[in-house]
């Protein structure tokens, strides 16, 4: 497509999971200015212009953009929680399309989400906000154990713990506070059931449910780190209820434009319970690979065009079953990591490592603790699971 040299999209964050969005924006004819605090971020090398800047500082990001002399047509953080506040700030200052500062704060702050969802009558667990160990202990007197302790403002499962006894609480509080820029955490009653991710796209207040995938969690992670996302084997009415809950949650926050990534627990009696939501795409292959494979919709291009005030492609579903499977880390040194190329030659399969031989790794504690992935798509869940299993059998991982 012919490039539009007058329309600039500012991509706040330019790491690995942002590169697909940057390339999609360029393929759609836009010019991209990429911002990241890491000078080696791969998105900087492919952007039309870039600046190395602290993306968590809206003022620093604004200054970098002004210094560039570029007049932005839009700002976006494709799958980056860290870049959302600065992107919202740029939209506010330049009056760009998309969520401004107040709405962006709601999309980032789990305390605000819980409060708004309570007021809207949406399915929350019991919850209390706290700032220190004493407040957490007091909250647990009414919430009880087991419980979830998590930061109000983190992403990627960072700082999230399940606590089953009193001895676990001090470490869980310390961990949650270490990942909370605001110094605030949530204590929540445990919702028992299978967790689902719902990926959506909103345009002019209309919502499309692009994918609903069930999660398999890493053993020993307290149910906080996923090792697989897959199309669900559920009654379609239940899948619809899960998707509707995600849509209602985002609409309650006032979110009517952009991608959404919402996590929901399906509790006893097929009752959806809200975990959290974000006004961005999901990382680790979800936004750029899994959702387009499951839905047939080019979400990255849609988000890029929408961010500069243009019409996104019309939604025409071409659905199929998907499995996105990860290899979680265990403590040690990566000694062997091969077979991904052979697995990728299977029909409908893509596989690749995230890490290299010699990497020192620890127990899987967040979404970043993954060695590699398998992504498979097929007409039915049975076929796609068989494909993923065949691919996994071809891959060899050794850590010691």
CA 305 to each of CA 4, 27, 88, 369: distance values in angstroms, whole numbers, following the listed order: 12, 11, 17, 32
For residue 1 the two structure tokens come to 């497509």
Looking at residues 38-59, what average pLDDT do you find? 98
Q: Which residues contact 151 (CB under 8 A, 6 or more apart)?
A: 110, 158, 159, 160, 176, 177, 179, 180, 184, 185, 186
Mean pLDDT across the chain: 96
Tell me if the bond preceding 380 is cis, omega within 30° of 0.
Answer: no
Q: Dump pLDDT digits (tens) for 274-325.
A: 999 999 999 999 999 999 999 999 999 999 999 999 999 999 999 999 999 9
The answer to whether 280 touches 78, Cβ cutoff 8 Å, is: yes
At 157 the pLDDT is 78
Nearest to 227 by CA among 236, 235, 218: 218
For residue 237 the two structure tokens come to 């009415």
At 2 the pLDDT is 52
The answer to whether 201 touches 297, Cβ cutoff 8 Å, is: yes
Q: Dump pLDDT digits (tens) for 20-39.
A: 999 999 999 999 999 999 99
**What count of residues does the chain have?**
400
* Cα–Cα distance, 112 to 307 (Å, whole number): 24
This prediction's pTM? 0.94
For residue 318 the two structure tokens come to 């071409």
At 171 the pLDDT is 97
Q: Dump pLDDT digits (tens) for 213-251.
A: 999 999 877 777 899 999 999 999 999 999 999 999 999
Q: Dump pLDDT digits (tens) for 180-220.
A: 999 999 999 999 999 999 999 999 999 999 999 999 999 87
| Residue at token pair 């000078």 | 39
The structural domains of the chain, ordered by start, are 8-107 (3.40.50.20), 126-189 (3.30.1490.20), 194-399 (3.30.470.20)
């Amino acid at each position: 497509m012919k490039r539009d040299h007058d329309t600039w999209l500012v991509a706040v964050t330019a790491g690995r999971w942002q590169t697909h969005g940057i390339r999609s924006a360029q393929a759609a004819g836009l010019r991209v200015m990429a911002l990241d605090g890491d000078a080696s971020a791969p998105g900087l090398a492919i952007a039309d212009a870039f600046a190395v800047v602290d993306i968590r500082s809206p003022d620093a990001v604004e200054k970098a953009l002004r210094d560039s002399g570029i007049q932005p047509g839009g700002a976006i953080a494709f799958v980056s929680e860290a870049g959302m506040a600065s992107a919202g700030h740029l939209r506010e200052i330049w009056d760009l399309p998309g969520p401004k500062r107040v709405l962006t704060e709601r999309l980032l702050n789990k305390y605000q989400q819980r409060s708004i969802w309570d007021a809207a009558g949406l399915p929350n667990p019991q919850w209390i906000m706290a700032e220190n160990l004493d407040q957490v202990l007091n909250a647990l007197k009414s919430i009880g154990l087991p419980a979830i302790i998590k930061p109000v403002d983190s992403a990627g499962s960072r700082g999230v713990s399940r606590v089953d006894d009193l001895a676990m609480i001090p470490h869980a509080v310390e961990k949650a506070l270490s990942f909370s820029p605001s110094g605030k955490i949530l204590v929540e009653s445990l919702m028992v059931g299978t967790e689902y991710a719902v990926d959506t796209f909103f345009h002019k207040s209309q919502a499309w449910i692009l994918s609903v995938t069930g999660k398999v969690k890493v053993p020993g992670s307290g149910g906080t780190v996923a090792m697989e996302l897959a199309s669900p084997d559920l009654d379609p009415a239940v899948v619809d209820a899960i998707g509707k809950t995600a849509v209602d949650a985002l609409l309650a926050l006032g979110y009517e434009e952009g991608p959404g990534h919402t996590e929901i627990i399906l509790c006893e009696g097929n009752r959806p319970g809200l975990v959290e939501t974000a006004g961005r795409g999901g990382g680790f292959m979800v936004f750029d690979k899994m959702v387009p494979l499951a839905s047939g919709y080019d979400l990255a291009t849609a988000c890029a065009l929408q961010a500069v005030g243009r019409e996104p492609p019309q939604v025409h579903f071409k659905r199929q079953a998907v499995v996105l499977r990860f290899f979680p880390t265990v403590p040690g040194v990566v000694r062997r990591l091969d077979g991904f190329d052979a697995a990728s030659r299977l029909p409908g399969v893509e596989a690749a490592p995230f890490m290299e031989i010699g990497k020192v790794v620890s127990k899987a504690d967040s979404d970043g603790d993954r060695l590699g992935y398998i992504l498979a798509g097929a007409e039915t869940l049975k076929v796609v699971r068989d494909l993923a299993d065949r691919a996994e059998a071809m891959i060899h991982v050794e850590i010691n």
